[in-house]
Amino acid sequence: MRNFIRLYSLILLLSICVGTASAQNPKLPQLLIRLDDIGMNHSVNMAAKAVAETGMPVSVSIQFACPWYQEAVVVLKDHPNVCVGIHLTLTAEWKYYRWGPLLGASAVPSLVDSLGYFHTTDRAFERGQYKLDEVEKELSAQIERALHSGIKITYVDPHMGVALSTPELRALTEKLARKYHLAISTLSNVTYYGETYKEMWGEPIATKKSAFMDYVEHHLNPDHPNLMVIHAATPSPEMDAMIDENSRLMRDAKGNSTVSKHRQTELNMILSPDFIRLNGKKFELTNYAQLLKGKDISVLKPSKVVWPVGAKQE
């Protein structure tokens, strides 16, 4: 009996110690940083390089339909902390700086405008009466270019949301993901691996960093991976000349482009000591390769995004 009491007391003491340790060191929320639009131009590639060189585990989505994707591949392939995805591209939103389908306008005529480029907006894409078989051909070409680029590819995600914007396009993207054994990163309203979703794209420049810091310190969901989408670039004349035809949020009251300032601000905030010091204290940084390790990515069961309490939904 005495031995039993002693054993029970020991078990109780261990339980209390474990409980106390757990209370002092609760499970940290997982934070996924995904850099979008890499390969678009030199400035965004240099932003990706700056982030990669910190050693932080991050995910980056390359636009393999864009002219600068080759530089992005060279910049990122020697950084094992970086997980690379394909930013499936069916639109080209910049004034004067346009790109079109890899297959050429004549091969997929329902995907291009009168000049042979991708449409500037998702609405224009829809009005163009795209043919699903042409979308499949073009996205397959982008995926195959990526897979033959010499860099490991883990996932796909949709530029401007287009490739997941309708049930038929979503079904097609899922079909291609299964065919090429790739995961699908979440969109603002659909998730495949339980991620929450947040981006800073539309936040005013003046409040962008404070809003970002408030979110990662106070609004991450401890029970789900938290995806934060970042649009970053280094300052340059190239970025100063970029004019977004898709939204006026990237212009000031006089109509001048603010794209460069927005993207520089987003780069600065994830490189800031204020953010970096929180890793391991307020959250645990991860990337898609780490998140999906050991999971069967061929099982694609989309569900609605779960939002953290009090977080602003996009």
pLDDT at 221: 95
Which of 11-20, 56-65, 220-229, 302-311 bottoms out in mean pLDDT, i.e. has the lowest? 11-20
- The pLDDT tens digits for 257-301 are 999 999 999 999 999 999 999 999 999 999 999 999 988 887 788
Classify domain 27-291 by CATH number. Answer: 3.20.20.370
Query: Where do the domains of the chain lie?
Result: 27-291
Residue 311: pLDDT over 70 = no
| pLDDT-derived band at 308, boundaries 50, 70, 90 | low
pLDDT at 298: 74
pLDDT at 207: 97
pLDDT at 300: 80
- The pLDDT tens digits for 149-187 are 999 999 999 999 999 999 999 999 999 999 999 999 998
The mean pLDDT value of the chain amounts to 89
- Higher-confidence residue: 208 or 314? 208
Indicate the pTM of the whole model: 0.88
- The pLDDT tens digits for 227-244 are 999 999 999 999 999 999
DSSP-derived secondary structure for the chain: -HHHHHHHHHHHHHHHHHHHHHHHSPPPPEEEEEEEEETS-HHHHHHHHHHHTTT--EEEEE-TTSTTHHHHHHHHTT-TTEEEEEEE--B--BSS-----TT-TTTSGGGB-TTSSBBSSHHHHHHTT--HHHHHHHHHHHHHHHHTTTS-EEEEEEGGGGGGSSHHHHHHHHHHHHHTT-EE---SS-BSS--EEEE-TTS-HHHHHHHHHHHHHH---TTS-EEEEE------HHHHT--BSS-GGGB-TTS-B-HHHHHHHHHHHHHSHHHHTTBTTTBEEE-HHHHTTTS-TT----BPPPPPTTPPP-
- Higher-confidence residue: 139 or 299? 139
State percent of the chain over pLDDT 70: 89
Residue 310: pLDDT over 60 = no
pLDDT at 254: 87
pLDDT at 306: 63
